[in-house]
């Protein structure tokens, strides 16, 4: 099955029509075959305007949310990015097209394993995946030019602020277990962080030491 037309329609109607104009993000969304990251029985829904189940009570994020979070990092190409919540690996694949290296943490081993396999099949070789609690970040590899958190947090984990480079951006959903606000925090200097609210969103909970 050729999904390229569905993918183009997804980008036109869900991404560009909603104001995402970062051409590099648009190109990455046009390139990565999203249907490979969902179960065989759901492939025909892969380019729809919704999140989808990926097993283990987790989801692959809505395409627009992937694009909006990625665009909010304002990536140039030479960044080292920390992603929390690998999930299906789709967001990881998009990031890998846009930056130097992606460090991704997933707490559920079976999801991390499945994602690794698809990312390897696509020959995306600039990705490190670790199984564990992503609420504490990845200290050995810090600082990061950007941190993208794909699960809803009750607050902003201090370790993310500590592991963000000067000028770096942190994008994460903060709120209760059902609904959150997508927040962007920019580290202006050692002690000054600028915080912006981007939009309402709904993510599965970030579970761990500094999460739920
Ligand atoms: N962006 C992913 C995609 O496109 O497939 C979707 C991620 S899904 C909404 C959230 C993921 O975060 C789940 O796979 C969940 O297991 C993971 N997660 C939740 N808490 C975590 C934690 N403390 N550390 C790492 N991963 C976590």
Q: Domain ranges in the chain?
A: 3-201
Identify the pLDDT of residue 1. 80
The response to whether residue 58 sits with its C-beta less than 6 Å from ligand 1 reads yes
Q: Is 133 touching ligand 1 by the criterion CB < 6 Å? A: yes
Residue with CA nearest ligand 1 atom 14: 87
Are 7 and 58 a contacting pair, CB within 8 Å? Answer: no
User: Do 210 and 158 contact (CB within 8 A), yes or no?
Assistant: yes
Length of the chain: 212
Question: Ligand 1 within 6 A of 211 CB?
Answer: yes
CA of 106 to the centre of ligand 1 (A): 6
- Token readout for 121 is 């099949």
Q: Which CATH superfamily is domain 3-201 in?
A: Vaccinia Virus protein VP39 (3.40.50.150)
Structure confidence by residue, pLDDT tens digits, 71-120: 999 999 999 999 999 999 999 999 999 999 999 999 999 999 999 999 99
CA 37, 49, 200, 177 torsion-angle sign: negative
CB 137 within 8 A of CB 161: no
**Regarding beta strands 144-149 and 164-175, do their DSSP bridges make them parallel or antiparallel, or are they unpaired?**
parallel
Look-up: residue for tokens 């648009």? 26
Q: What pTM does this model have?
A: 0.98
Per-residue confidence of the chain (212 residues) as pLDDT tens digits?
Answer: 889 999 999 999 999 999 999 999 999 999 999 999 999 999 999 999 999 999 999 999 999 999 999 999 999 999 999 999 999 999 999 999 999 999 999 999 999 999 999 999 999 999 999 999 999 999 999 999 999 999 999 999 999 999 999 999 999 999 999 999 999 999 999 999 999 999 999 999 999 999 99
Name the residue of 32, 50, 81, 107 whose CB sits within 8 Å of the most ligand 1 atoms, as the mutation to test its pocket.
107
Angle at 170 between CA 95 and CA 192, to 5 degrees: 145
Q: Which distant-in-sequence residues (6+ apart) come within 8 Å of 188 by Cβ?
A: 166, 167, 194
Report the alpha-carbon distance of residue 96 to residue 79 in Å, rounded: 10
Residue with CA closest to ligand 1 atom 17: 85
Residue in the structure block whose two tokens are 């810090």: 142
Q: Which of 87, 89, 102 to mutate to test the pocket of ligand 1 (most atoms within 8 A of CB)?
A: 87
């Amino acid at each position: 099955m050729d999904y390229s037309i569905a993918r183009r329609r997804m980008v036109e109607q869900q991404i560009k029509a909603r104001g995402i104009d970062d051409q590099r993000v648009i190109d990455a969304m046009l390139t990565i075959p999203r249907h490979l990251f969902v179960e065989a029985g759901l492939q025909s829904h892969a380019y729809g305007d919704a999140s989808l189940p990926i097993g283990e009570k987790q989801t692959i994020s809505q395409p627009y949310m992937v694009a909006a979070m990625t665009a909010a990092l304002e990536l140039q190409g030479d960044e080292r990015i920390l992603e929390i919540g690998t999930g299906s690996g789709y967001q990881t694949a998009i990031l890998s097209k846009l930056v130097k290296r992606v460090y991704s943490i997933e707490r559920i081993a079976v999801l991390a394993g499945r994602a690794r396999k698809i990312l390897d099949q696509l020959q995306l070789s600039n990705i490190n995946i670790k199984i564990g609690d992503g609420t504490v970040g990845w200290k050995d590899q810090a600082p990061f030019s950007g941190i993208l958190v794909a699960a809803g947090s009750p607050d902003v984990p201090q370790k993310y602020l500590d592991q963000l480079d000067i000028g770096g951006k942190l994008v994460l959903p903060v709120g209760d277990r059902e609904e959150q606000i997508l927040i962007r925090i920019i580290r202006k200097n050692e002690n000054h962080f600028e915080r912006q609210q981007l939009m309402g969103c709904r993510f599965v909970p970030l579970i761990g030491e500094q999460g739920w």
